Amino acid sequence: MSFGVWAKRGGHPFPFQRCARSLICRLDSCGSFALPYDHTPLPSPPLKTLGITGGIGSGKSTIAALLGKKPGVRVVSADDEAKRLMVEDEGLRRQLIERFGADTFLEDGSLNRAGLAASVFDDPKEVEALNAIVHPAVREALGKSILQAKEDGIDLFAYEAALIYEIGAQDLVEAILLVDAPLELRISRVMQRDGSKRLEVMARMSNQLSSEDLRARADFVIDNDGDLAALQESVDSLYRSILDK
Ligand code: ATP
């Protein structure tokens, strides 16, 4: 049974006082309004920014895809951004090669995923070193994407990231949406999606923040424990509530 969108803090999801946390609102004069008979054209509505996070198999990508079909919404995935940066960002590539060796990349310039995974496998210090290189680059790219969305007149910019807090992305968006679902349901969805084994899924889960921690930090929660039609309803309701539509 889905409970739809649950706004933890109540009231309007993006009240003005939360603008202080928003990169965009800090750059704009947030909260100004036109006086009566002032013929200055009203500014276009400010960009709203939302982080979407959740544990493995919770349904982040599914929600991001549904939200991305709505008018005025742009969705960016942290995973896709990291993959793009590994190809395009020379500074990032240099740092990775310095730390993990020349075979971090294959001859055609693409990332040697298997090689890099083997280098960091089961070694928390190496994982930390990799994250210390990649996460700041991903965070910087997020800042640029938000500014670009603002320039492009987007209404809602949504950023999907499993590791939203680890990247530090929560400081760049106004609100965080947590997608959650019961553990067993998440495990069976991922097993079905990836053909992976139960223990593999559980091992990946053990590296993520718990549902309790994530719920405590989120501004909104979607309990994705129903079917896709229920999820669509939750997304519709979230969209309406964020954009006052
Ligand atoms: P990951 O962290 O592994 O990237 P995710 O949180 O992005 O996972 P999704 O890939 O969106 O999760 O969803 C996991 C699987 O469950 C997918 O195959 C998706 O189609 C399916 N799924 C998600 N939500 C529902 C739902 N409400 N009903 C049926 N299937 C769903």
Write the secondary structure of 188-218 as one string of H (helix), E (strand) and C (coil): HHHHHHHCCCHHHHHHHHHCCCCHHHHHHHC
For ligand 1, atom 23: residue with the closest CA: 59
Paired tokens of 201: 């899924």
Q: Is 207 in the pocket of ligand 1 (CB under 6 A)?
A: no
For residues 224 and 180, is the Cβ–Cβ distance under 8 A?
yes
CATH top-level class of 47-243: alpha beta
For ligand 1, atom 12: residue with the closest CA: 59
Q: Which atom of ligand 1 is nearest to the CA of 192?
A: 18
Is the pLDDT score of 37 beyond 90?
Answer: no
Q: Is 59 in the pocket of ligand 1 (CB under 6 A)?
A: yes
For the chain, the domains span 47-243
Give the pLDDT confidence of 83-137 residue by residue, as tens digits.
Answer: 999 989 999 999 999 999 988 999 988 889 888 888 887 788 999 999 999 999 9
Pocket mutation for ligand 1, best pick of 3, 179, 189, 201 (most atoms within 8 Å of C-beta): 189
Judged by average pLDDT, the poorest of 16-20, 114-118, 147-151 is 16-20
Other beta carbons within 10 Å of 236? 16
Angle at 57 between CA 100 and CA 121, to 5 degrees: 20
Q: Maximum Cα–Cα distance for the chain, whole Å?
A: 66
Quick one: average pLDDT of 8-30? Answer: 39
Is the pLDDT score of 241 beyond 80?
Answer: yes
